[in-house]
C-alpha cells in the first residue's frame, strides 16, 4: 500500500518516465527483432544502438524512446497496466526506426546519432530492405496483439500520414523562396503534423486503445500527439537557427546554410521586411545576417508562439481525459520535449 493517495504524489521527472518505459518495452522489442532474418536483425540492432556493424554488442545511444513511452502512458491513462501498451510501443518504435532508415537515404544524411547512418554502414539496398523488414514487423506485431483491426487501422493511418509528410518535405526543397509557388507556413504546419505528429499521436492513441480506453480518449490522445509533434518540430527549427551548438550538436547557422525551409524562415519570407532574405540563405549566403533578418521579421516569435499554443492544446486534451492516472507523467514528458533550452 502506498503511504499517500496517488493523486498527491508528484509525477517522476520525464527522464525517469522515459527510462521506466524503455525498460518495460525492451524485452518485447528485442524479441520482435529476433524474429527477423538474421541479417535484417543485425541491421535493426545497429540502428537501435545495440550492436556494431558485424554484430558485436554495443551500447551506442539509441533514441530517447519517446514513442514507446507515449504508448505505455497511453495504456496507463486508460486506467490499465502499462504492459497492455507494449505491442503498441513495439510497433511504433519499429515504425520510427523504419522511417529513419529510409529518410536518411532520401535526405542523403550520412550520420545518425553520431554513428554512420545505416545506408552508409551497410549500403543503400540493405538499408531499404531493413526498413521494409521493420515496417512489416510492426504490422505483424500489432496484428497479433489483441487490439483487433481498429489498432491496425490507427497504425496504417499514421503510416500514410508519415509518407505524406515526407513527400511534402522532399518537394518543399525544390519550391522557390518567393512568389506564389513558395511554401506557406500553413503547408509547413501540415507537413510537420504528418511527418512528426502522426506517429506521436498514434503511439499514445494505440497504447490507450490496447489499454481499453474509449474512443473519446483515443481520439484526444491522437490529437494531443499531433500538436506535440508540431510543437516539437517548431522548437527544433528555432534551435537550429538560434540554439547553442554545444547543446544541439548542430553547427551554428547550419540549417540556414543548407537553405532549409523551416517555419521561422517561411514565416519571414512572407514578410515585406525580409525581402533580402532569399539571397542570404544557402551555402553562398550569410547565416548570421539571415538569422537577424528572420528575427526582425518575427519568424522566431511566431514559431515560439505557435509551439506554445500547440503545447497548450495538447495539455488541455490530456488534462481533459477521464481517469487520468498517467496524466502527470504525460504532461511531464510534454514539457520535457518542448521546453528544451529555449
Residues that bind a copy of itself (CB under 8 A): 35, 37, 39-40, 102, 105-107, 124-126, 128-129, 131-133, 135-137, 139-140, 143-144, 148-149, 152-153, 155-157, 159-160, 162-164, 166-168, 170-171
Closest approach, Cβ 63 to a copy of itself, in A, equals 19
Sequential DSSP letters for 184-232: PHHHHHHHHIIIIIHHHHHHHHHHHHHTT--HHHHHHHHHHHHHHHHHH
Contact at 8 Å (CB) between 20 and 13? no
Nearer to a copy of itself, 182 or 336 (CB): 182
Nearer to a copy of itself, 15 or 110 (CB): 110
Nearer to a copy of itself, 64 or 182 (CB): 182
Contact at 8 Å (CB) between 257 and 273? no
Sequential DSSP letters for 265-310: HHHHHTSGGGTTHHHHSSTTS-HHHHHHHHHHTTHHHHHHHHHHHH
CA-based nearest residue to 325, from 207, 225, 222: 207
Torsion of CA 262, 101, 340, 194, to 10 degrees: 50
Grid coordinates 514513442 are at which residue? 67
Nearer to a copy of itself, 87 or 264 (CB): 87
Instruction: Using DSSP, state whether 249 is helix, strand or coil.
Output: coil
User: CA-to-CA distance for 74 and 92, rounded, in angstroms?
Assistant: 13
Closest approach, Cβ 146 to a copy of itself, in A, equals 9
Nearer to a copy of itself, 92 or 297 (CB): 92
C-alpha cell at 82: 502499462
Nearer to a copy of itself, 99 or 233 (CB): 99
Amino acid at each position: 500500500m502506498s503511504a499517500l493517495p496517488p493523486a498527491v504524489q508528484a509525477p517522476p521527472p520525464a527522464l525517469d518516465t522515459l527510462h521506466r518505459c524503455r525498460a518495460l518495452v525492451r524485452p518485447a522489442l528485442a524479441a520482435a527483432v529476433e524474429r527477423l532474418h538474421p541479417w535484417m536483425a543485425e541491421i535493426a540492432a545497429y540502428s537501435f544502438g545495440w550492436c556494431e556493424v558485424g554484430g558485436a554488442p554495443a551500447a551506442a545511444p539509441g533514441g530517447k524512446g519517446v514513442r514507446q513511452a507515449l504508448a505505455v502512458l497511453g495504456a496507463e491513462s486508460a486506467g490499465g497496466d502499462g504492459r497492455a501498451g507494449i505491442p503498441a510501443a513495439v510497433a511504433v518504435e519499429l515504425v520510427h526506426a523504419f522511417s529513419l532508415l529510409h529518410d536518411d537515404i532520401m535526405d542523403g544524411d550520412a550520420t545518425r546519432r553520431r554513428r554512420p547512418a545505416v545506408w552508409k554502414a551497410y549500403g543503400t539496398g540493405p538499408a531499404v530492405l531493413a526498413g521494409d523488414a521493420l515496417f512489416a514487423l510492426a504490422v505483424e506485431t500489432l496484428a497479433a496483439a489483441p487490439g483487433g483491426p481498429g489498432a491496425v487501422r490507427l497504425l496504417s493511418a499514421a503510416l500514410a500520414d508519415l509518407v505524406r509528410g515526407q513527400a511534402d518535405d522532399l518537394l518543399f526543397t525544390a519550391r522557390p523562396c518567393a512568389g506564389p509557388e513558395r511554401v506557406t507556413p500553413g503547408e509547413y504546419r501540415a507537413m510537420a503534423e504528418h511527418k512528426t505528429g502522426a506517429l506521436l499521436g498514434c503511439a499514445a492513441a494505440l497504447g490507450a486503445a490496447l489499454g481499453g480506453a474509449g474512443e473519446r480518449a483515443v481520439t484526444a490522445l491522437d490529437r494531443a500527439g499531433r500538436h506535440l509533434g508540431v510543437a516539437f518540430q517548431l522548437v527544433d527549427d528555432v534551435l537550429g537557427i538560434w540554439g547553442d551548438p554545444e547543446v544541439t550538436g548542430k553547427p551554428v547557422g547550419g540549417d540556414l546554410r543548407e537553405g532549409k525551409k523551416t517555419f521561422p524562415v517561411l514565416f519571414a519570407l512572407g514578410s515585406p521586411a525580409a525581402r533580402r532574405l532569399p539571397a542570404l540563405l544557402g551555402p553562398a549566403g550569410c547565416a548570421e545576417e539571415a538569422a537577424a533578418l528572420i528575427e526582425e521579421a518575427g519568424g522566431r516569435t511566431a514559431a515560439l508562439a505557435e509551439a506554445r499554443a500547440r503545447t497548450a492544446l495538447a495539455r488541455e486534451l490530456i488534462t481533459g481525459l477521464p481517469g487520468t492516472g498517467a496524466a502527470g507523467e504525460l504532461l511531464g514528458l510534454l514539457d520535457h520535449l518542448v521546453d528544451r533550452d529555449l
